Chain A
Amino acid sequence: MSNAEELLNVLVLQESQIVTYRRLSRELSVHVNTAKELLADFYNANRDKCHATYLVTGTKRPSSNSDEIVGIQIMLISEAGLTALQSELDNAACHVYSLEYRLVEDANAFVMANIQAGCNRDIAELSAVQSSVSQIASAPAYLQKEPPKAPVSNSIDKKPIIGEDDDGDFESGLSTPPPPPPPPKAKDVRSFFGRVPEKKPALATMKSDVDMAPVLKTELQHKESQQTEQSDGDFDMQSVNDESPNDEGSRVEDMFDDEDTGNNSNSNNSNNDSGNASPIKRKAIVDLDVEMAESDEEDSNQAQNPPPEAALSNSGAQASTKHRVRKRRKVSTIKHTKNKRGMLVSQIVDGWESYSESESDTSHGSGAAAVKLENKKDNFQNIHPSAGGIKQQSSSGKAKGAVPQRSILSFFGKK
């Protein structure tokens, strides 16, 4: 059995496919006219097993209408209508167009079979008519079946999946597998995302314009006795004076870590659920803020708590060594409580919110704060460099354009 017979036996008789002459020509790499002859030979040998579709060409006989121009007829027809059609045409010729297992009435089946047979240009070398045009260019890259691999950008590996700044990185992160997050730098304890678990981060430099240190210490001592409410932040705040100067910078993040629910890796919170730890932390901070606010109201525009000396001394270093500094600023929040009679009471409570500023901003702020501290070192116990600087600027008048606005309270501060 020849290759053609085997192929047609499999495709037509076994798989019930429609095999056109073009497909056979491509499969066997034979001339299209040879493929037509092969189809005819196979059909003649297996007439009772398959069906043939013929293509008939001829000239239409002129009708009585003299205006009608001479026409050539090219018709695809089954074997049943072959004879009748040939009788209607002059110079009629036919050949086997396709073989199929049984009669196909749907024209779309032939369309799909032709699509399966491929393009005419794929069998250009096997065509009966040689092309008179030349190929001047290859297909564009986007039309190729195998699209070229896009070069992997280094930025993808370096930047996290969800970029903060660049949408392009975000999209590239979506289209490519998310790269593993960069390992936290062990040396950079000030990194907000890569805090080393073993280390106890230093207390954040809480610089405000209130005398906070005494209140803070008092509160810390109170909380120290209550292990259930202890948190990383509180623990860190407790150890503010015990920490070495080198760890002062990380106290800022740790102070803000109290507000983060996911960065608490302290096992001391095992007594509380992770979900409850956050409310507890915030409550503690709020309490502190409330107390600080009360002290602020008492001592407005007067003595302000100086920061811990270690923290203050490292503020400049902190600003100079890191790109972003986490700081806190005083904001007003509305707190709803119930009084003794069960009535809902709303009161404005000064609170603290964390923010970050760039190194350039910090340098200006720290510079201004450093000058201020030098001038009022005796009066300040705990001061936030930027906030103090801003308030000072707001009270003294226009600041030099380099120092940006830090606290919204500066607009509403008592003058």
Chain B
Amino acid sequence: MAKTPQTVQRKKQSECDARNGADFQTFKIGGKRTYMQQFNELYYTRLSALKPFVLEQAQQRWGGRSDVHHTAKVLNVEGPTLTYIIGTLFIDSNAKPSTLHMAERTHWIADAEESGKYRDETAVVHLEDESGRIGLTGSELSKATIASGVVAAVLGAETPDGRFDVAEMCFAGMPDQPELPREIADDRFVAFVSGFNATIERPLTLEMQLLAEYLAGNLGSEQTQRESAQIVQVVVAGGLVELPTPPLGHTEDPKANDRLASAKLVSQIDEYLADIASSVPLVVMPGRGDPTDVSMPQQPMNPGMFAQCRQYSGFLSTTNPASLAVDGVTLLGTAGQNVDDLKHYTINGESACELAARSLQWRHIAPTAPDTLWCYPFTTSDPFILRQAPHVYFVGNQQRASAAWAPDVHGGGGSGGARTRVVTVPTFRDNYEIALLNLRTMEYTSVCIGAKSASTDAQ
């Protein structure tokens, strides 16, 4: 006698869905956008906002020492006595991309991504505040993981040649972290996926279809289906489409309707995502190649792109970076551009997960903006400064799935010892892999979807 198939009820989020409680970080640019302002105001705002926290950390760390005193302004440093100064790090290197060089190579806005490292042997690290800048030197610089735009306190002394010999470094530390409103009793998963990178030639792959079936709960055995029912939220961390880049010198002909293929691709992706959105709450973030702003923070993609998805109550198109809340668990995530830019500054081979954790300790998730990471010229506030430590910090479009904790290091950290689960989401197009995060245990699991052909089987 055939067994009667059972239908499992998917677990629902509590009243705290992805929207409620997600306003601890706001990345939407409201009002009229202008690009006439200089970036110095952004740097000044960042320094003003983080300086008190850095000073607090520095006083906790070095304040008790009698031979150490604080110098308020960088240019007032003098003498061989130990002192600590606070400012913004700036790495001046010939390896860093130049806007003029990029403009020479292309007729249009060039892709901001540049291969290679930004710190080479010729790199000079400066510390800059309102009064001026001073060059840093010392062996500590080669050990520390730093990047342009990081607000830090450096302990050292002035050298005879007018530079500052760094002995120790200190950062703002992680902000306070709100407590969970309630204890999560059962296993609830958040599925992270990024980097579909659908192209006009291949808008849909078999792996994408299998993923949709898995998330909808149709695929696999009953055990797999029960696990799928525990997924309460799906987050697409950027990388929906990979639109073709126009050739050099291309002039768009309005009569030729060159964008027809791209529009069709977008509609196909909308159709695909609607399949997922009809079964489980879906959050979509823009990524590097998606049709939205190039500069950070990327604004939500045009609602017209998701005509099918918007029919469902659980669908949300948000910014990049984005702050979410699932069952009281706060999530902060990016599509990966900020971490990818940080990789250019690493000299010790830090992984993406380590860099993401380090940025939390800097209390700034995109410190290289606007130096090497394109950014909107904010003047009154810096939205990338962390106001509170999230429970989960995810970074999309990475090479592989990995997870780590962001504890307080270098003496930095908010009161109460904030701990954030830092996870990286792999690029689906490369690995056909997604990630599941258990909100109760913070256990991170990868799900690899694939198809083996007969020729592979024979081998």
Q: Known interface pairs A120-B216, A131-B278, A138-B311. Does A111 touch B204 (Cβ–Cβ under 8 Å)?
A: yes
B216–A107 touching, CB < 8 Å = no
Cβ of B228 within 8 Å of any chain A Cβ, yes or no, is yes
Given A105-B454, A114-B209, A121-B278, residue A132 in contact with residue B5 (CB < 8 A): no
A18 smallest CB distance to B (angstroms): 12
The contact of A133 among B214, B221, B277, by CB within 8 Å, is B277
Contacts of B458 in A (CB 8 A): 80
**B310 at the A/B interface (Cβ < 8 Å)?**
yes
Pick the contact of B279: A114, A129, A140 (CB < 8 A). Answer: A129
Interface size on B, residues (CB 8 A): 68
Report the separation of the CA atoms of residues A190 and B457 in the bound assembly, to the nearest whole angstrom. Answer: 87
**8 Å CB interface, A69-99 against B:** 69-78, 80-81, 84-85, 91, 93-95
> Which of B30-38, B376-384, B445-453 lies at the interface?
B445-453
Q: Is the CB of A81 within 8 A of B457?
A: yes
Are B232 and A69 in contact, with the CB atoms below 8 A? Answer: no
B428 smallest CB distance to A (angstroms): 13
CB-based contact A134/B225 at 8 Å = no
**Count of chain A residues with a beta carbon within 8 Å of a chain B beta carbon:** 58
Q: Which of A27-35, A241-249, A295-303, A386-394 contacts B (4 or more CB under 8 A)?
A: A27-35
Return chain A residues, CB-CB under 8 Å to B454.
78, 80-81, 103, 105
Which applies to chain A's interface (DSSP): helix, strand, loop or mixed? mixed
CB distance from A56 to the nearest CB of B (A): 9
Which of B206, B223, B271 has most chain A Cβ within 10 Å? B206
Query: Given the complex, which residues of A lie within 8 Å of B133, measured CB to CB?
Result: none
**Beyond A72-B447, A74-B448, A74-B450, is A128–B456 a contact (Cβ under 8 Å)?**
no
Kindly state the separation between the CA atoms of A134 and B278 in the bound complex, as whole angstroms: 7
Contact status A131-B10, CB under 8 Å:
yes
B9 to chain A, nearest CB (A): 5
Q: CB distance B232 to A76 under 8 Å?
A: no
Taking CB as reference atom, which chain B residue is nearest A143?
A: B307
| Chain B residues, Cβ within 8 Å of A37 | 2
Q: Residues of A contacting B311 with CB < 8 Å?
A: 135-139
Q: Which A110-160 residues have a C-beta within 8 angstroms of B?
A: 110-111, 114-115, 119-121, 123-124, 127-140, 142-143
Contacts A75-B452, A129-B229 known; list 18 others, CB within 8 Å.
A22-B213, A33-B222, A70-B443, A74-B447, A74-B450, A76-B452, A80-B457, A81-B456, A81-B457, A91-B223, A127-B217, A129-B8, A129-B218, A129-B228, A134-B312, A135-B312, A137-B310, A137-B311
* 23 residue pairs bridging A and B, Cβ less than 8 Å apart: A34-B2, A69-B446, A72-B446, A72-B448, A74-B448, A76-B210, A84-B457, A93-B220, A93-B221, A107-B205, A110-B209, A120-B216, A123-B218, A128-B7, A129-B7, A129-B216, A129-B217, A130-B8, A131-B278, A131-B280, A132-B9, A137-B311, A139-B308
